[in-house]
Homo-oligomer: A and B are copies of this chain.
Amino acid sequence: MSTPPSAPRRATITDVAREAGTGKTSISRYLNGEMSVMSPELRARIEAAIARLNYQPNQMARGLKRGRNRLIGMLLADLTNPYTVEVLQGVEAACHALGLMPLICHAANEVEMERRYLQLLTTYRVEGVIVNALGVSEETLRPVGGSGIPAVLVDRQVDGLIADMVGLDNRAAAELGVRHLMDQGFDDIWFVVQPFAQVSSRQLRHTAFLDAIGRYGGALRVERDSHGERANPGPRGAARGHTLVLDLADAGETARSLAELDRAIDSAAADSGSSPPAHRRIALFAANAPVALCVALHLKSRYGADWQTRAALVSIDDPDWAELTGITTIRQPTYEIGYRAVEFLHERIEGVQATARDCLLPGELIVRASTSR
């Protein structure tokens, strides 16, 4: 039977050599830009042969031979988060500029996926990995970092994994948010965050929030989690800080937490009306966009379209619906985070041996109607 013309075998370097009437070595030299020492005549013949055969060198083979394939892994915890997509843009731009090709792996919030992808990446012999990991411990990240292949972390640290990190300056960002809210006269601020035991950036944001409240607000007491205690009203001009943990992965938990939030909002509204609006508003400080969205959706379903008269919302991250909804945000320098991450990684790949570096980039406060009275 005749083979259908489906697979007109791709030309190899040997084909080109034959076509150009020369040896493979010269072709290889040409491909690698070692033109300096090559007769213009030969060079022309090679050029022609390559064009005629529509030859394209096989990256796999090149990689196998020289030991580096210009591939880097990009492990993403959650592409659903606009933050991730934006970081990716920076990553792609940088890769492009540095001649790298990113292998994008989306763990979709599944630890098992993360493990598998990591393994796959090493199997493809990527030269390095950029990790925006789930909150898992080093255990699954064994192959990378320190003694393994070069790695740089994005947004969060991973316990026991020593590597460069680039992300938001969480401390400054939290302060920015708290200060803004206090400037706007809010004295009851709820920090809403996903479970942060495993994710360093969440922890940092939370800690910084507490510190800021302490510093600027002279908070008296802060309640953690849903232990049900209410903080005592602070002295005039002080602010009270609260923390609400929202476990988006657990519907039941989420509902419970939101119910607690409702109580806080209602009781604030019930407080004697020393403030102009119909009800006194509390302020909500979301640690990231997914949390902000969850809260906003809930409040809207509970209080209707004008839920923002019940609570002010500010969020770290600036998703596209923020402008539409009018919530205040702290925008992360996402593109630059991605770009820098690749630059760091590239340096490591090239052999730079400095001790682990941290690159903390500042966020930008974007004030919208939500917090301006």
Contact = CB atoms under 8 A, between A and B. Distances in A.
A26 interface: no
A324 interface: yes
A5 interface: yes
Contact of A59 (B5, B85, B123, B319): B123
Contact of A324 (B59, B124, B293): B293
Contacts of A120: 101
B324 A56 contact: no
A92 B106 contact: yes
A323 interface: yes
Instruction: Please give me the 10 A-B residue pairs with the lowest Cβ-Cβ distance, nearest first.
Output: A321-B321, A104-B104, A59-B124, A60-B60, A59-B123, A79-B85, A60-B64, A56-B123, A60-B63, A61-B64
Given A79-B85, A89-B106, A92-B108, 5 more contacts: A56-B123, A58-B123, A60-B125, A64-B64, A88-B106
A57 interface: yes
A305 B326 contact: yes
A9 to B, nearest CB: 9
A80 interface: yes
Contacts of A85: 79-80, 85
Contacts of A296: 324
A122 interface: yes
14 contacts: A8-B147, A10-B125, A58-B125, A60-B63, A60-B125, A80-B85, A89-B106, A89-B108, A92-B106, A101-B120, A293-B321, A293-B324, A305-B305, A321-B325
Contact of A69 (B60, B103, B326): B60
B321 A324 contact: yes
Interface of A: 4-6, 8, 10, 56-61, 63-64, 69, 79-80, 85, 88-89, 92, 101, 103-104, 106, 108, 119-120, 122-125, 147, 293, 296-297, 300, 305, 319-321, 323-326, 353
Contacts of A106: 88-89, 92
Contact of A88 (B79, B124, B323): B79
- Give the number of copies in the complex: 2
Nearest to A56: B123
Contact of A5 (B89, B125, B147): B147
A103 B105 CA distance: 9
Nearest to A69: B60
A24 B58 CA distance: 25
A300 B369 CA distance: 12
Contacts of A56: 119, 122-123
A38 to B, nearest CB: 23
A59 B122 CA distance: 9
A319 B64 CA distance: 43
B297 A324 contact: yes
A63 B59 CA distance: 11
A213 B365 CA distance: 46
Contacts of A79: 79, 85, 88-89
Given A8-B147, A56-B123, A108-B92, A297 B323 contact: yes
Contacts of A147: 5-6, 8
